[in-house]
């Protein structure tokens, strides 16, 4: 059974998931273009962090950060490679959207990579109704980034 619950990103059983996410983000992205947040930063009060489990096994994570009263940003979405192809990333994204909406957020935006390794993520977000937008928040134009947004 798949569950998604709000948890602390600092829980010890998330170390492997964080390490795999870190490795994936650094695989083909220049360091200056990586916008991933470390677990300590994901523990901030303006971030809602969620863990996906299959039984007791950690298989994914996702978060959103509120940076304006009605605007949030999807952060650190990751599903373990060996569990992909089952719709789990879409399940996590739908959960984040529903939780953000319940928290009074009416717009979600995100930054993701332009490299081929991010193609599946870009397709996921576009199929979920996200559309291209200019850089938001503290982001700046970057050839390694694409910015997406949608009303929720």
Yes or no: say if 141 and 135 are a contact pair by the CB < 8 Å rule: yes
Instruction: Judge residue 90's burial from the number of C-beta atoms within 10 Å of its C-beta, 0-12 exposed, 13-18 middle, 19 or more buried.
Output: middle
As a whole number of angstroms, the distance between CA 114 and CA 127 comes to: 17
- Closest among 44, 41, 25 to 33, alpha carbons compared: 25
Write down the pLDDT at residue 96. 98
3-state secondary structure of 137: coil
pLDDT along the chain (152 residues), means of 10: 97 90 70 77 96 96 96 94 93 98 98 91 97 95 95 98
pTM score: 0.93
Write down the pLDDT at residue 75. 94
Q: HSE (CB half, 13 Å, CA atoms) of 107?
A: 13
């Amino acid at each position: 059974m798949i569950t998604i619950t709000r948890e602390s990103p600092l829980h010890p059983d998330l170390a492997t998931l964080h390490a795999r996410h870190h490795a994936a983000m650094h695989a083909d992205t220049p360091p200056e273009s990586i916008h991933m947040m470390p677990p300590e930063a994901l523990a901030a009060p303006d971030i809602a962090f969620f863990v996906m489990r299959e039984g007791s096994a950690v298989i994914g994570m996702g978060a959103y950060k509120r940076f304006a009263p009605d605007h949030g940003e999807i952060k650190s979405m990751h599903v373990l490679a060996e569990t992909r192809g089952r719709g789990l990333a879409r399940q996590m994204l739908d959960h984040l959207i529903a939780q953000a909406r319940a928290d009074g957020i009416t717009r979600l935006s995100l930054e993701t990579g332009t490299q081929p390794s991010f193609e599946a993520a870009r397709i996921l977000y576009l199929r979920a109704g996200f559309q291209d937008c200019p850089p938001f928040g503290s982001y700046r134009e970057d050839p390694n980034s694409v910015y997406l947004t949608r009303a929720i």
